Amino acid sequence: MSKNEKKINIEGEELDQNSKDSAFNDKENQPEKSNKESEDKEETDPLTIVQEEAEKWKDKYIRLAAEFDNYKKRTLKEKSELILNGSEKTISTILPILDDFERALADKTEDPKTIKEGFDLIFKKFLKALETLGVNKIETDDADFNVDYHEAIAMVPGVGDDKKGKVIDCVQTGYKLNDKVIRHAKVAVGQ
């Protein structure tokens, strides 16, 4: 050992002055490390992580709520436009028939046969236009009475066993729109 080196006895351990200095130097370095560690701990602090994640979810929720609100407004606008303009297809299909009626009224023909012929043509054109829109007649000729399609307004007694429960006469034609009854056929039924 040199003059500068001293032996120090600490609770049964002998340390050199050099080793003491090195140990002291290590202790001086440790606070720096602990500062770095505390900074790392702050960055990886569970509370901070949870708060950052909560902010991300909050932002995501706000954006999603705004997007849903915009969706509701857009669909409400589309519905109102459909209600206002939904009958456009129907009207555009029927307008040519209206034109035919105007031409028939403007015609000064006095011949009843020609007038009837023109009326029949317009009627057939109107039925065809309704069929293109999905409107169909409910058949009643020799059909069994069906409460889903028919409305009985009269019972006709004494028509024979083969006509019981069958439609005898159709007073008002019924119509379906795409297989949904929009008006029941008013019929007389055999009893």
**Under 8 Å between Cβ of 93 and 132:** yes
CA 73 – CA 92 distance, rounded (Å) = 29
Q: Look at residue 21 in the predicted model and tell me its pLDDT.
A: 47
CA 2 – CA 20 distance, rounded (Å) = 15
Please give the chain's pLDDT, 191 residues, in tens. 444 555 555 555 555 544 444 444 444 444 444 455 555 555 578 999 999 999 999 999 999 999 999 999 999 999 998 888 878 888 999 999 999 999 999 988 889 999 999 999 999 999 999 999 999 999 888 888 989 999 999 988 877 778 888 888 899 999 999 989 999 999 999 88
Identify the helix (H) or strand (E) that includes residue 170: strand 167-172
Torsion region of 142: left, alpha or beta (phi above 0 gives left; psi -120 to 50 gives alpha) = left
Read off the tokens for 158. 């004494």
**Under 8 Å between Cβ of 151 and 188:** no
Q: Look at residue 10 in the predicted model and tell me its pLDDT.
A: 52
| Closest of 133, 146, 131, 141 to residue 173, by C-alpha | 141
Nearest-Å Rg of the Cα atoms of the chain is: 47
CATH superfamily membership of 136-191: Head domain of nucleotide exchange factor GrpE (2.30.22.10)
Q: Look at residue 9 in the predicted model and tell me its pLDDT.
A: 54
The DSSP call for residue 17 is H
- What residue segments make up the domains of the chain, in order of their start? 18-83, 88-133, 136-191
